[in-house]
Structure 1
Amino acid sequence: MARKALIAREAKRARLVAKYAEKRKKLKEEGDYQALALLPKNSSPVRLHNRCKLTGRPKGYIRRFGISRIKFRELALQGKIPGVKKTSW
């Protein structure tokens, strides 16, 4: 489990990105890069980092499911992810 502070930090960044999305888009279209530089750094979508929805783990993230590889394997083996089964050949 990731530290709660790191999970909260990512959530705060996501809120800032959503809050400033329109303003950022408008400033980019106008070419006003000085005003763009005055916006909070964490309002840039580039600074977002995908984290597992269950554990907050930042690495081994599977986009399609929104969880880390470890949790994905656990849930798949328990049969809790529809359409996923262990392969063998």
Structure 2
Amino acid sequence: MAKKSKVIKELQRQATVAKYAEKRMELKKNKDYEGLSKLPRNASPTRLHNRCQISGRPRGYLRKYKISRIAFRELAHKGQIPGITKSSW
């Protein structure tokens, strides 16, 4: 489990990106790079990092399922992910 402070910080970044998205688009369209530089750093979407929806883990993230590899494995073993079965050969 990730630190709750890190998960909350990431949620705040997502909110900041959403808040300034329209303004960033307008400034880019007008090529006002000075205005862009005056926006908060966390308003840039490149500062976002994918985190597991269950555990908040930042590494081993599977985009299709929006969870980490560890959470994916646990849910797959329990049969809670439709269409996923454990293979054995």
**What's the secondary structure of 1:83's corresponding residue?**
coil
TM-score scaled by length of structure 1: 0.98
Q: Which amino acid aligns with 1:63?
A: R
CA RMSD of aligned residues (A): 0.6
Q: 1:72 Cα shift? A: 0.2
In the alignment, which residue of structure 2 is the partner of 1:11?
11
Residue 87 (structure 1) shift? 1.6
Instruction: Give the match's secondary structure for 2:18.
Output: helix
Give the deviation of 1:48 after TM superposition: 0.2
Which deviations, in whole Å up to 9, do the C-alpha atoms of 1:5-31 show, x marking residues without a partner?
A: 000000000000000000000000100
How far residue 74 of structure 1 moved from its aligned partner, in angstroms, is: 0.3
> Partner residue of 1:48?
48
Find the counterpart in structure 2 of residue 28 from structure 1: 28
Aligned length: 89
- How far apart in 2 are the matches of 1:87 and 1:39? 49
Structure 1 counterpart SS, 2:74: helix
Following TM superposition, where does structure 1 have runs of at least 4 consecutive aligned residues deviating by more than 6 angstroms?
Answer: none
Distance 2:88 2:4 in 1: 38
Structure 1: which amino acid aligns with 2:63? R
Aligned mates of 2:12, 2:46 — CA distance in 1: 14
One-letter identity of the residue aligned with 1:29: K
TM-score by length of structure 2 reads: 0.98
